[in-house]
Amino acid sequence: MKPLISIIIPCFNTAEYLPQCMASLEKQTIGFEKLQFIFVDDASTDEGKTWRCICEFEQRHPKEVVAIQLEKNMSQGGAKNVGISYAEAAYIGFVDSDDWIEPEMYEKLYACARDYQCDAVDCGRMLNYPDGREVIYQKKENCFDQFENSIVEGGDHWIRDFTHPGYGGGLVTCIFRKQLIIENEIKFPEHLKYEDNYWSAVIRLYIRSFYHIADNCYHYRQREDSTVYKKNMTYHLDQMIIEEQKVETYQKLGIFDKYYWQIEFSFLYTFYCSTLIKLFVKFDNRQSSI
């Protein structure tokens, strides 16, 4: 019997956090045996610790777990593309290897996808800090409040709204219909950070039905040494490349002229404003030069 959901977990030097992530996967109330777990070690450099952790988990669950070790680092986008190529289920989900999820997360997401035949289903998330604080994630200008626990049909208004910065779900809190991804050849940018910004922007152009669950089922670990928060790293400027790639894709799909002002506003906001903020926040002039 095919799994109901294929869950892709890219890993890079996260042996310290993987046990908690894996334990939360084992507790899924939908049934562990109904899920496929694809762990992709993105050429970790921690003397094999991450890979050993993955292999031990695979040995405990050989039927449900796929373990892949990349010879060269492809960044998270490349690791996710590899994971998608191994996915067997009708729906695909993603979990960051340093995070964890609530036991009922995939049961709730799949029930909505099945009952309402949705292309994508999303839930809320919690931000978990090293000092033990747990805060509900509330993105500024998030428009989800107006359609919590309800179906949103795709179409013209959907694309207009979703080109607005600050509007949209998170990749790791969603499950997506695999057929949608494969038929439209939607891939993550490889060897770049901020790959989720591109992928999420492109896939929503094809989504025709979406459901948002108000429950906060995902725990997003806040780490100072994580990709997003690490300082003085030039890869933060990858965001500019990602924005250019998004515009190129909009042009190829023939929607650039129709939604010019929405796309232009989104591009200007992220390419310039967001990048300038990162230059001030993510870089120390005494240590870095760009």
Q: Mean pLDDT per 10-residue run, the chain (290 residues)?
A: 97 98 99 98 98 99 98 96 99 98 99 95 94 82 52 60 52 96 96 89 88 94 69 70 90 89 79 64 55
The CA distance from 34 to 53, in Å, is 22
The DSSP bridge pattern shows strands 120-128 and 134-136 to be antiparallel
pLDDT (0 to 100) of residue 225: 66
Topology of 5-230 in CATH?
Spore Coat Polysaccharide Biosynthesis Protein SpsA; Chain A (3.90.550)
The pLDDT of residue 144 is: 47
- What pLDDT shows up at residue 125? 94
Query: What is the distance between the alpha carbons of residues 141 and 120, in angstroms, rounded to a whole number?
Result: 21
Q: What is the pLDDT of residue 243?
A: 87
Neighbours of 73 (CB within 10 A): 15
- Report the pLDDT value the prediction gives residue 239, as an integer from 0 to 100: 82
Q: Which residues are CB-neighbours of 229 under 8 A, at least 6 positions away?
A: 222, 223
pLDDT at res. 205: 87
Could you give the CA distance from residue 85 to residue 175 in angstroms, rounded to a whole number?
16
The C-alpha angle 255, 178, 76, rounded to 5 degrees, equals 80
How much is the pLDDT for 129?
94
Q: Return the pLDDT at 142.
A: 45
